[in-house]
Amino acid sequence: MVKFSKELEAQLIPEWKEAFVNYWLLKKHVKKIKLAQKPKQVQNANVDFGLSIFDPVRALVSRISDHFRNAGQNSEVKSKITEGEDDGGEQVYETELVQLFSEEDEVKQFFESLDEELNKVNQFYKTREAEFLKRGKQLNKQLETLNERKQILSDRHRKSLSSKSSAGFTTPSYMSSARNSDYSESPTEYCESPIETPRKEDASATVEKNGVNFVVSPKESKMKKGNPTRAISTITSMLREDVLKNPKKELSPGTDFINRKKNQCAEKMVRGAFVELYRGLGLLKTYSSLNVVAFTKILKKFDKVSNEQASAIYLQVVKRSYFLSSDKVITLMDEVESLFTKHFANNDRKKAMKFLTPHQHKDSHMLTFFVGLFTGCFVTLFSVYGILAHLCGMFSPTTSYMETVYPVFSMFALLSLHLFMYGCNLFLWKSSRINYNFIFEFQPSTALKYRDAFLICTSLMTAVVAAMVIHLVLLSNGFSPQQVDAIPGILLLMFMTLLICPLNVLYRPTRFCFLRVIRNIVFSPFYKVLMVDFFMADQLTSQIPLLRHMESTACYFIAGSFKTHRNEMCKSGKFFRETAYFISFAPYFWRAMQCARRWYDESDTNHLANMGKYVSAMVAAGARLTYAQQPESKLWMAIVLVTSLVATTYQLYWDFVKDWGLLNPKSKNPWLRDDLIVKNKSIYYVSIAFNFVLRVAWLETVMRFHVSPFETRLLDFFLASLEVIRRGHWNFYRLENEHLNNVGKFRAVLAVPLPFRDIDSD
Q: How confident is the model at residue 750 (pLDDT cuts 50, 70, 90)?
A: confident
Q: How confident is the model at residue 36 (pLDDT cuts 50, 70, 90)?
A: confident
CA distances to 149, 155, 171, 307, 726 from 162, rounded to whole Å, are 20, 11, 10, 84, 66
Q: With CA atoms as reference, report the closest residue to 704 among 653, 630, 759.
A: 630
Which range is least confidently modeled, 257-261, 286-290, 666-670?
257-261
More confident residue, 440 or 712: 440
CA distances to 137, 291, 297, 341, 756 from 131, rounded to whole Å, are 10, 20, 30, 23, 19
Q: pLDDT at position 177, please?
A: 38
pLDDT of 226 strictly over 60: no
Q: What is the mean predicted confidence (pLDDT) over 212-232?
A: 42
Q: Could you give the dihedral angle defined by the CA atoms of residues 703, 708, 713 and 719, in that order, rounded to the nearest 10 degrees? A: -30
Q: pLDDT at position 580, please?
A: 84
CA distances to 103, 454, 504, 506 from 512, rounded to whole Å, are 68, 19, 10, 11
Which range is least confidently modeled, 13-17, 222-226, 296-300?
222-226
Q: How confident is the model at residue 330 (pLDDT cuts 50, 70, 90)?
A: very high
Task: Report how far residue 533's alpha carbon sits from residue 440's, in angstroms, rounded to the nearest whole number.
Answer: 9
CA distances to 32, 402, 546, 555 from 575, rounded to whole Å, are 76, 21, 18, 10
Task: Report how far residue 624's alpha carbon sits from residue 703's, in angstroms, rounded to the nearest whole number.
Answer: 12
pLDDT of 259 strictly over 80: no
Q: pLDDT at position 566, please?
A: 62
Q: With CA atoms as reference, report the closest residue to 358 among 450, 444, 468.
A: 444
Q: pLDDT at position 194, please?
A: 42
Task: Report how far residue 553's alpha carbon sits from residue 242's, in angstroms, rounded to the nearest whole number.
Answer: 46
Q: pLDDT at position 166, please?
A: 61
Amino acid identity for residue 517 in this structure: V
Q: With CA atoms as reference, report the closest residue to 296 among 316, 307, 311, 285.
A: 311
Q: What is the mean predicted confidence (pLDDT) over 317-328?
A: 91
Count of C-beta atoms within a 10 Å radius of residue 604: 12
More confident residue, 570 or 124: 124
Task: Report how far residue 137's alpha carbon sits from residue 144's, in angstroms, rounded to the nearest whole number.
Answer: 11
Using DSSP's 3-state secondary structure scheme, residue 192 falls into: coil
Task: Report how far residue 324's alpha carbon sits from residue 321's, in angstroms, rounded to the nearest whole number.
Answer: 6
Q: Are 524 and 590 in contact (CB under 8 A)?
A: yes
Q: pLDDT at position 151, please?
A: 81
**H or E element at residue 330:** helix 328-344
pLDDT of 595 strictly over 90: yes
What integer best gives the mean pLDDT of the chain? 79
pLDDT of 181 strictly over 90: no
**Residue 758 φ/ψ region, left for φ over 0, alpha for ψ in the -120 to 50 degree band, beta for the rest:** left
Q: Are 69 and 300 in contact (CB under 8 A)?
A: no
Across 73-77, 255-259, 605-609, the highest mean pLDDT is recorded for 605-609
* Sign of torsion over alpha carbons 523, 594, 407, 450: negative
Checking DSSP bridges between strand 212-216 and strand 91-95, what pairing results, if any? unpaired
Q: pLDDT at position 544, please?
A: 92
Q: What is the mean predicted confidence (pLDDT) over 185-190?
A: 44
pLDDT of 9 strictly over 70: yes
Q: pLDDT at position 539, please?
A: 96
Task: Report how far residue 532's alpha carbon sits from residue 542's, in angstroms, rounded to the nearest whole number.
Answer: 16
Amino acid identity for residue 280 in this structure: G
CA distances to 180, 295, 340, 361 from 275, rounded to whole Å, are 20, 31, 9, 19
Q: With CA atoms as reference, report the closest residue to 530 among 421, 440, 428.
A: 440
pLDDT of 190 strictly over 90: no
Q: Are 640 and 623 in contact (CB under 8 A)?
A: yes
Q: pLDDT at position 149, please?
A: 81
More confident residue, 156 or 254: 156
Q: What is the mean predicted confidence (pLDDT) over 332-343?
A: 94
Which range is least confidently modeled, 403-407, 520-524, 651-655?
403-407
Q: Could you give the dihedral angle defined by the CA atoms of residues 436, 440, 444 and 445, in that order, rounded to the nearest 10 degrees? A: -140
The pLDDT tens digits for 722-742 are: 999 999 999 999 999 999 998
Q: pLDDT at position 201, please?
A: 38
Which residues are registered as beta bridge partners of 91?
85
What percent of the chain is helix, strand and coil (3-state, nearest 5)? 70, 5, 25
Q: pLDDT at position 523, please?
A: 93
* Sign of torsion over alpha carbons 690, 691, 694, 698: negative
Q: pLDDT at position 388, please?
A: 87
pLDDT of 483 strictly over 50: yes
Q: How confident is the model at residue 187 (pLDDT cuts 50, 70, 90)?
A: very low
Q: pLDDT at position 336, please?
A: 95
The pLDDT tens digits for 674-717 are: 999 998 999 999 999 999 999 998 887 666 665 666 777 888 88
Using DSSP's 3-state secondary structure scheme, residue 285 falls into: helix
Q: Domain-by-domain residue ranges, the chain?
A: 365-744
Amino acid identity for residue 552 in this structure: S
The runs of H, that is alpha helices, within 523-572 are 531-541, 544-558, 561-564, 568-571
Q: How confident is the model at residue 83 (pLDDT cuts 50, 70, 90)?
A: low
Which range is least confidently modeled, 88-102, 219-233, 273-287, 686-700?
219-233
The pLDDT tens digits for 532-573 are: 999 999 999 999 999 988 887 777 777 666 666 566 666 666
Q: What is the mean predicted confidence (pLDDT) over 631-641?
A: 88
Angle subtended at Cα 277 by Cα 342 and Cα 345, rounded to the nearest 5 degrees: 20
More confident residue, 50 or 327: 327
pLDDT of 137 strictly over 80: yes
Q: pLDDT at position 227, please?
A: 52
pLDDT of 745 strictly over 90: no
pTM of the shown model: 0.80
Query: What is the percent of the chain with per-residue pLDDT over 90, rounded to a whole number?
Result: 43
Using DSSP's 3-state secondary structure scheme, residue 255 falls into: coil
Using DSSP's 3-state secondary structure scheme, residue 626 falls into: helix
Direct distance between the N- and C-terminal alpha carbons of the chain, in angstroms, rounded to an integer = 59
Q: pLDDT at position 571, please?
A: 66
CA distances to 488, 498, 536, 612 from 511, rounded to whole Å, are 22, 9, 14, 32
Q: What is the mean predicted confidence (pLDDT) over 282-290?
A: 94
The pLDDT tens digits for 355-388 are: 898 776 677 789 999 999 999 999 999 999 888 8
Task: Report how far residue 178's alpha carbon sits from residue 183's, in angstroms, rounded to the nearest whole number.
Answer: 10
pLDDT of 484 strictly over 60: yes
Q: pLDDT at position 573, please?
A: 62
